[in-house]
Amino acid sequence: MSLMQQWEDMVSVFNDDAQAQQKFWTDYYLQEKGVYESLLEEPVEVVSGTVQELADKYEMDVVLFGGFLDGINESLKEANPVNELEADSQVKIDIDLEKLYYNMVAAKAEWLYELPQWDKLLSEEKRKELYKAQKRSMTVVKDKKIGRNDPCPCGSGKKYKFCCGK
């Protein structure tokens, strides 16, 4: 069974027990934060090895580390095949810092995008720019509503109510 399937099974176990679910995610987020702190200390270094080796390096359970890899995958320069990962699969963590910061904001993961390590990696202006860009991407802009008596946008010259508005 792939690590992703094990991860999904592990997460779904807590669906009926809110207290256990809260404890699981709190523990996971603390471990995740530790891995990010370590990775962001030396971001230019490409980290590679088997999933098990990296899980051991960051002192995480291999299945939890598989979940971590799923979370960071979109922020890598080259994605890993997370759905096919096994403990002995080779992976590479080559982070695109701007994508990572943007995705952390999108995930509303304040505990990650407010890490002090970001101060050395991206300027405050760049972080604000990425933050605003992500927030703008979630803003829905409605087009101007066409009134019944307005000219039809199809260009027929008729009123909307007698043309496309029927």
Looking at residue 8, the DSSP 8-state letter turns out to be H
* Range of lowest pLDDT (14-18, 77-81, 94-98, 99-103): 14-18
Cα dihedral sign, 41-75-59-115: positive
- Alpha-carbon distance of 73 to 92, in angstroms, equals 10
**Does pLDDT of 134 surpass 80?**
yes
Write down the pLDDT at residue 103: 95
Section 91-109 average pLDDT:
95
Nearest CA to 36 among 93, 107, 106?
A: 93
Provide the pLDDT confidence category of residue 1 given band limits of 50, 70 and 90: confident
Q: What is the pTM of this model?
A: 0.77
Q: How far apart are CA 96 and CA 44, in angstroms?
A: 9
Confidence (pLDDT) at 140: 72
Report how far apart, in Å, the C-alpha atoms of 2 and of each of 10, 25, 30, 38, 64 are.
12, 21, 24, 26, 12
What is the per-residue pLDDT across 135-164, written as a single tens digit (0 to 9) for each? 988 877 777 888 889 999 898 999 999 999
